[in-house]
């Protein structure tokens, strides 16, 4: 198991690559999902639209 | 006086035209995207998991690079998507510019963050692959530099959209930028042939003698499918936001908002 994570001494490069890609892609998927939910909430209350608190 | 109703032509051309109009309507597309984005998302997850298993566990180490080559399974698909999405974005923006189709602009605007993310991943994974293989994270080589220019094109396009308050003006200005930037795509693609670069040539499309082991090719192809499904899912989710925002005064959005 430890051998698998070491990747013949290249573990750092491989796992950093995969982790960065996973985080970037996950964020890219979730951001618009959350934005749409916020947008619907915002449009539902016209007197508390953008620019007002 | 009886008015005779004009005969409706029912040729396949008019049917295709009606379908085109319905599909292009923001309300229809919003619900269409809502159905398909999660499906593509699930497919992407399934393909990513399979690709990771075959790429990291099943595939053997490379005879020259050892295990570090395993970065290929995310690097090459990311790099491919960075260019492919740019073409989709520029073509869609161009269609929006010429025929003034709102949906085309929405698709173009939604492609940019996804393409930029893949470009960023291609550059980062390339750097992390370059260090153990070439001994350096970065070099001002033709392939690397043109890919960095691609990132700047995406960022410039998004900055332009953000700077122009009017959605239509922004979309049209962005379309011009996206179309001009299209010249960078063949430069990236052929950079390894036109210039003497450190970056290696094509891995898959090399014809003739097989240059890649089947156990390495299969996970690579699985990852290609995964990133394409991911692109569709992420892009459609963004299109939904654009359409809701732009059509906020219409009845269908009011119906969506009020449940």
In a domain, B27, yes or no: no
The token duo for A29 is: 């998927």
CB contact under 8 A, A20 and B124: yes
In a domain, B42, yes or no: no
Q: In the prediction, which pLDDT does B55 show?
A: 95
- State the smallest CA–CA distance between residue B52 and chain A in angstroms: 10
Task: Look at residue B203 and tell me whether its pLDDT is greater than 80.
Answer: no
B residues 129-168 near A, CB within 8 Å? 129, 131-132
Q: Do B67 and A43 touch (CB under 8 A)?
A: no
CA distance A53 to chain B (A): 19
User: What's the predicted TM-score (pTM) here?
Assistant: 0.90
Give the CA distances from residue B45 to residues B12, B122, B192, B206, B231, in Å, rounded to whole numbers and listed in that order: 38, 19, 32, 29, 12
Domain presence at residue B171? yes
A29 in Cβ contact with B110 (< 8 Å)? no
- pLDDT tens profile A14-35: 999 999 999 999 999 999 999 9
pLDDT in tens, B23-34: 789 999 999 999
pLDDT number for residue B200: 82
Is B228 part of the contact surface with chain A (CB cutoff 8 Å)?
no
Q: In this complex, do B257 and A43 lie within 8 Å of one another by their Cβ atoms?
A: yes
Does the distance separating the beta carbons of A39 and B132 come in below 8 Å? no
Q: Does the residue B38 lie in any domain? A: no
Q: pLDDT over 70 for what percent of chain B?
A: 92
3-state secondary structure of B66: strand
Q: Does B197 touch chain A (CB under 8 A)?
A: no
B39 within domain boundaries: no
Residue A52 reports pLDDT greater than 50: no
B66 beta partners = B62
Mean pLDDT of chain B: 91
> Looking at the predicted structure, is the pLDDT value of residue B210 above 70?
no
The answer to whether the CB atoms of B68 and A14 lie below 8 A apart is: yes
Task: Judge whether B109 is closer than 8 Å to chain A, CB to CB.
Answer: no
Partners of A5 on chain B (C-beta within 8 Å) are none
Is residue B45 a part of any domain in this protein?
Answer: no
A39 contacts B128? CB cut-off 8 A: no
Quick count: other Cβ atoms within 10 Å of Cβ B27?
16
Domain of residue B217, residue span: 69-257
Q: Is residue B26 part of a domain?
A: no
B17: pLDDT strictly greater than 50: yes
Q: Is B5 inside any structural domain?
A: no
**Overall number of domains in chain B:** 1
Each residue's pLDDT tens digit, B51-62: 999 999 999 998
Residue B116 or B62, more confident: B116
B93-114 tens-digit pLDDT: 999 999 999 999 999 999 999 9
Answer whether B73's CB lies under 8 Å from B223's CB: yes
């Amino acid at each position: 198991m430890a051998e698998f994570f070491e990747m013949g001494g290249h573990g750092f490069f491989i796992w950093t690559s995969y982790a960065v890609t996973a985080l970037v892609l996950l964020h890219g998927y979730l951001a618009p999902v959350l934005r749409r939910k916020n947008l619907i909430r915002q449009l539902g209350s016209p007197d508390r639209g953008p620019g007002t608190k | 006086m009886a008015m005779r109703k004009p005969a409706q032509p029912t040729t396949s051309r008019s049917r295709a035209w009606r379908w085109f109009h319905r599909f292009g309507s923001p309300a229809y597309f919003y619900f269409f995207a809502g159905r398909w984005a999660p499906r593509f998302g699930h497919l992407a997850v399934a393909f990513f998991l399979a690709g990771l298993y075959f790429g990291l566990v099943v595939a053997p180490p490379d005879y020259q690079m050892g295990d570090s080559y395993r970065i290929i399974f995310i690097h090459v698909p990311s790099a491919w998507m960075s260019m492919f999405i740019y073409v989709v974005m520029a073509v869609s923006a161009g269609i929006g510019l010429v025929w003034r189709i709102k949906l085309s602009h929405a698709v173009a605007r939604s492609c940019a963050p996804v393409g930029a993310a893949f470009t960023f991943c291609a550059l980062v994974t390339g750097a992390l692959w370059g260090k153990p293989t070439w001994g350096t994270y970065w070099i001002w080589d033709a392939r690397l530099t043109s890919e960095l220019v691609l990132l700047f094109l995406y960022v410039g396009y998004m900055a332009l959209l953000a700077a122009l308050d009017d959605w239509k003006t922004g979309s049209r200005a962005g379309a011009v930028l996206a179309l001009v930037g299209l010249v960078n795509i063949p430069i990236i693609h052929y950079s390894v042939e036109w210039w003497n670069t450190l970056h290696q040539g094509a891995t898959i499309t090399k014809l003739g003698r097989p240059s890649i082991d089947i156990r390495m090719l299969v996970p690579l192809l699985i990852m290609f499918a995964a990133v394409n499904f991911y692109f569709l899912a992420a892009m459609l989710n963004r299109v939904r936001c654009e359409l809701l925002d732009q059509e906020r005064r219409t009845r269908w959005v009011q119906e969506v908002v009020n449940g």
